Structure 1
Amino acid sequence: MVRKLDIETHSRILNRLVRLEYGIYGDYKQIKGRLYELRFFFGKGYRIYFTEKDNKIILLLNAGNKDTQGKDIKKALEIIEEVYKQN
């Protein structure tokens, strides 16, 4: 998703991910169980899904915008199942 964005949007999302690395979550929301979303209130309302395991943030290779949120959440929940099976 990030590669297809204009430079300003790309930069804003990457800056947010860098802040996340330092424990600065910004606006986020618990969706279900161990699934959380980083929320962006510009452009199309981008969302990046993540979980935490062993005190580490795991970005789920799944993201989207407000229009695709239902489908994206379903896919993120499937990915989380796989992440927690690997232990």
Structure 2
Amino acid sequence: QRLIKSDEQLENLACLNVEERLQKALGMLAQEFGYSEGVCRVIPLKISHRLLGEMTGTSRESVTRALGRLEKKGWLTRGNDKMILRGPSS
């Protein structure tokens, strides 16, 4: 199963841009740790940009910029110790 996960991560790095990789990582976190709130999915964790960068194979700075873009698009809202996903992956 680790091999399958590694293969999927390599494919993501090669085929997806930073925003898409971030959306995918947040979607996985929402599935694993989140809960539904209406049509949204809430991730009740404080997740550092550094950790998200490690999960997506990008820098902390790139994660910060991508989160800002996702927030502007209305896909994501960041709050104290939680993130709320509104996109199709949520």
TM > 0.5 fold call: no
- Identify the structure with bigger relative contact order (alpha carbons < 8 Å, sequence gap 6+): 2
Question: Counting helix residues as a fraction of each chain, which structure ranks higher?
Answer: 2
User: What TM-score do you get using the length of structure 1 for normalisation?
Assistant: 0.30
User: What TM-score do you get using the length of structure 2 for normalisation?
Assistant: 0.29
Question: Counting strand residues as a fraction of each chain, which structure ranks higher?
Answer: 1
